[in-house]
Structure 1
Amino acid sequence: MGFFNWFKRDKSDRDENEDRDNIVDETQVEIEKVNFEKEADNYDSTPKRKKYIQDSCESIVEASRQIDEAKVEYQAVTSYLTDMQKIDAIPVEERADLEDSARKIITLTRDRTGYQNRKDIKITDVQYQHMEQYEEEIPEEIIKIKKNEEYLIIVKNDMRALEGEKGSLHFNKEEILKQQQYLKGIAIIISFLVVGLLSLFATIASVFYKNMMIPYILTIIMAVISAVYVFYEARRNIYETKLTEQKLNRAIGLLNKVKIKYVNTTNLLDYSYNKHRVNSSSELKYLWEQYMKAKDEERRYKNNTELLNYYNEVLVKNLRKFKIADPDIWIYQAIAIIDNREMVEVRHRLNVRRAKLRERIDYNTKLKQDGMEKIQKLISKDPDWKKEVVESLKKYDINI
């Protein structure tokens, strides 16, 4: 496992990294807040409650997995930064052999590169060194990145569909509320109309001594019919409102799950792109193919291999004297030992990656805590489900 890019970067390469750093901010998708108690109330049947518990446990397990993976990477990056501090602290009078072997390695590496006929091979020295460093893992990494890119497309489509459904449900809810206001207005108008008609008929009957029984009856029938209509529509609207809210909560819950997948997949892809300094799996695959061509050419020029191996051993031996945890990695970044500017840039890149890993750990820790809170709220809300929850937690090996 390694985190270094070993040789000089040009300006365009650094600009590319800055653009890629901006992507992280844009992919921090906000997870909508859901009242856990109200959410638990929506799952009023046993199958729904079991599914709710299962989803919460899976969310906790996935967050824990993401945290563990990020911590392993975080510890490795921290170890490399510690090694850099030790190298910087080596006294000047003790650096002669170390820097001499580093210079020999750089010279021999450049000579070996110069031996090769690379007119038909489009790969820079920096890219070649990077491919060489990650040679064992890149074939699998290409497949992994490709699958994650395809999965991200699926997740994006799911997000669009769920966002559309959520917007439609919000619109339906607003329409129902407008209809309720409309019914309220009708009820008020009919009430005034009925009272007015009855008063009018009473006045006519008392002043002109007319028989107003039929108008009375017709007015009362009209009032009854109107009241039944308003009552029926109001009840139906209440039912539709409740049903729409349930659908909306379900859509938000599903959308949040999809957003979590989107954030984790996007962060994973961004980290892989940043690590290999590419923009897609196809670009990494192309570089790998170019590297394999270059490596095939390199096999023809091995006259200086023994000498290079000798100085590699000398460099590693010198570094071990100063308690460097992973001295072998410095073979691929020997220039950083003699060029302080290169060492500063390597340190900066490592600090950026460590910060990204810290953000990933914090993000998934929050998700894990939310999952735990869901479980605890459910137990508090309905203690009868405690046994079922405990069994599920044991099944997923989760401790609260």
Structure 2
Amino acid sequence: MFSRLRGDFPILDARIGKSPLSYLDSGATSQKPQCVIDTFVEYYQQRNSAVHRGAHSLAVEATDAFENGRIAVAGLVGGDAEQVCWTKNATEALNIVALGIDRASHGFGGEAAERFALSPADSIVITEMEHHANLVPWQQLAASTGAQLRWLPVTDAGELDLSRLTDIVDETTKVLAFTHVSNVLGTVNPVQRLVARAREVGAYVVLDACQSVPHMPVDFTDLDVDFAAFSAHKALGPTGLGVLWGRPGLLDALPPVLTGGSMITSVSMEESGFMPAPQRFEAGTQPVAEVAAFATAVGYLAEVGLEEIFDHERQLARILLDGIAEIPGIRVLGDAETRIGTVAFDVDGVHAHDVGQYLDSQGVAVRVGHHCAQPLHRRFGVTASTRASTYLYNNAEDCRRFLSALAEVRPFFGVAAEGA
């Protein structure tokens, strides 16, 4: 099945110089099937209009497409459509939660202050493997409120070290924010165990699901999280669109941080009232074409099957890991048992950017740098790494071409087999 899917993605027919493209950078952004591209174009050709406020036919059709996208996403990740709030990206979604808590901590809204307020007596817990999008907002919240910022460390195997979980997540903890899947290591974290501890101490759980929703079955309701964030562009959808998912009561209590049109109930010259979620967090003109296209992407993923995608990627990860193990001078970062098809590594004697450029010359697209996870790279003693990340359109031939090119990197740069 997966071999025939490649034909749905027109960009995979591209050539890099004289080489066919092997795209192994889906952890950064996924490619788009033709049906998603067609939906995006068709919206502007036939249905383009502002949503919610218009009474004419185009406005009704645009609103239907917009709200049907919400329904589609709810079907993908669990819960009701009212729990799906559109944002520009997952980074904005996570900031909305952190900044909303910050506003509550500084006295905005009676119920919000009671439910969310933080003080210097409280703590926020994250992990050492977080993407900066789920780290920097919590640093800023801690600095603003005086709350203590703590983190769960990472083992040599690239898994969370939970040996001190009960000490780090304690009765002072008000927020536990962590990634479902590491964007560097591919590690799938034990959500149930972490949520269980949060429930014991009454902490809110914020889940970064950017690297899990596109690659495996995910149900936020079953996972029992309070807030979750992910982006469309990593899940076959367009850029410029993210999702904030939350529990209904919590979303309605969380203070909005983006205000203006489309999210108010009434406005006077002295004060304004805000709508309940999801419109509460959707100020201004909305990305309707992006939502319509993402709904098509969600349907595509459902048709293929997320469990099948997860199994397919694990097979590709095994090919990558076994192949890299045969190449001298390469260290894989982490070796988690439960993972998606993402592998990051360090090439002895060759900078990650040089590795990436050489692979690109052979038609292999990978990611290089710190992948917005500098603390995790410091944990493994490197400033940068090269990352190959697979998706449903990749196959064993992509892996073979990658491994063949990777084996040539150190000889190409004149690095001796025994070391730099």
**Shared fold per TM-score greater than 0.5:** no
Q: TM-score, normalised by structure 1?
A: 0.25
Question: Which has the higher Rg, Structure 1 or Structure 2?
Answer: 1
Q: Compare relative contact order (CA 8 Å, sep 6+) and give the higher one, 1 or 2.
A: 1
Q: TM-score, normalised by structure 2?
A: 0.24
| Higher strand proportion (structure 1 or 2) | 2
| Higher helix proportion (structure 1 or 2) | 1
